[in-house]
Amino acid sequence: MPPRTRRAPRRTEALTRDVIVQAATEILDADGEDALTLRALTLRLATGYGAIYHHVADRDDLLAAATDDVLAAVVAAVTAVSAPEATPDAEPQHRLRALALGLFDAVDAHPWVGAQLTREPWRPALLDVYECVSTQLQALGVPEDKLSDCAGALMNYIWGVAGQNAANARALAASKLDREQFLASVAQRWAHLDPARYPSVHRARTQLREHDDREQFAAGVDLILAGIQAVHGGGAPGR
């Protein structure tokens, strides 16, 4: 056999890990987690498998790196907000709410992040989140031996919502309906349930259209903060 056909010319710009992770993020945002295949990446970057695997360990590494980027941006945004002369007392709650809502919004914008959180536990970016939460709780007056319980409760709640958000986004995408139709189809399915056995589900069903996930998430955060204040906080709750 002759020395094989001419090979495609080498790329001009250097391929870096960051370029690859960014391309992966774009694919994930555009078409969801399943769309991120190594083949799709080679096509988008006009390169081969070897080049990618030279900079990245495997697919999980890629997903984890993309997730870290998103989370790091949220933490950076929250810690950067230096409140000069804000009320020093309500400040910790305010920051915790901002962090929680920032994470919610990030997962809402990138649903694949929510799914990733339950796959790769305790990535570096999660340590930053934990540190941020702990610091604010300490400022709230939570005793040191209860810090990990309280921080864990808050973070696990956030991860739970993130996971459900990701699942909902996947279900919505799979149904190929718009959000309105999708909610209607869910409501219709629930309508067929026995009202005697599922009274609460039926009640929730009627509220489904005006239901706001973000508001409910915020209410949950406030609930947990109120619980922390009630159990461990010395100061007045919520003020």
Partner DNA sequence: CACAGGTTTGGAGCGGCGATCCAAAGGTGG
Partner DNA sequence: CCACCTTTGGATCGCCGCTCCAAACCTGTG
Q: Residue 207 Cβ, how far from a second copy at the closest point, in Å?
A: 7
CB atoms within 10 A of CB 131: 13
Q: Which of 57, 81, 223, 235 is the binder for a second copy (CB under 8 A)?
A: 223
167 binds a second copy per the rule CB under 8 A: yes
Burial 100-129 (b: 16+ CB within 10 A, else e): bbbbbebbbebbbbbbbbeeeeebebbebb
Closest by CA position to 221, among listed 146, 140, 156, 141: 156
Question: Among DNA, a second copy, none, what binds residue 48 when CB lies within 5 to 8 Å by partner kind?
Answer: DNA
- Which residues ranging from 41 to 80 are in contact with DNA (CB under 7 A)? 45-51, 53-55, 58-60
* CA count, 13 A, side-chain hemisphere, 93: 20
Two structure tokens written together for 21: 């992770």
225 binds a second copy per the rule CB under 8 A: yes
In the region spanning residues 203 to 222, those forming contacts with a second copy, defined by CB under 8 A, are 203-204, 207, 211, 216, 219-220, 222
| Residue among 74, 172, 183, 87 at smallest CA distance from 129 | 74
Give 56 or 126: the residue with its C-beta nearer to DNA. 56
Contacts of 216 (CB under 8 A, 6+ apart): none
Integer Rg of the chain from CA: 22
Q: CB under 5 to 8 A by kind: which of a second copy, DNA, none does 40 bind?
A: DNA
| Residues 100, 228 contacting (CB under 8 angstroms) | no
Q: Helices H, strands E: what count in the chain?
A: 11, 0
Q: State the binding partner of 44 from a second copy, DNA, none, CB within 5 to 8 A by kind.
A: none
Task: Report in angstroms how near the CB of residue 71 gets to a second copy at its nearest.
Answer: 15
Query: With binding defined as CB under 8 A, does residue 42 bind a second copy?
Result: no
Which of these segments, 39-47, 48-56, 65-73, 132-140, binds a second copy (CB under 8 A)? 132-140
Distance between CA atoms of residues 85 and 194, nearest Å: 56
Compare residues 153 and 177 and give the one whose CB is closer to a second copy. 153
For the bound state, the minimum distance from the C-beta of residue 233 to a second copy, rounded and expressed in Å, comes to 10
Q: Give the total of residues touching a second copy (CB under 8 A).
A: 64
- Binding site residues, DNA, CB under 7 A: 3-4, 6-11, 14-15, 36-40, 45-51, 53-55, 58-60
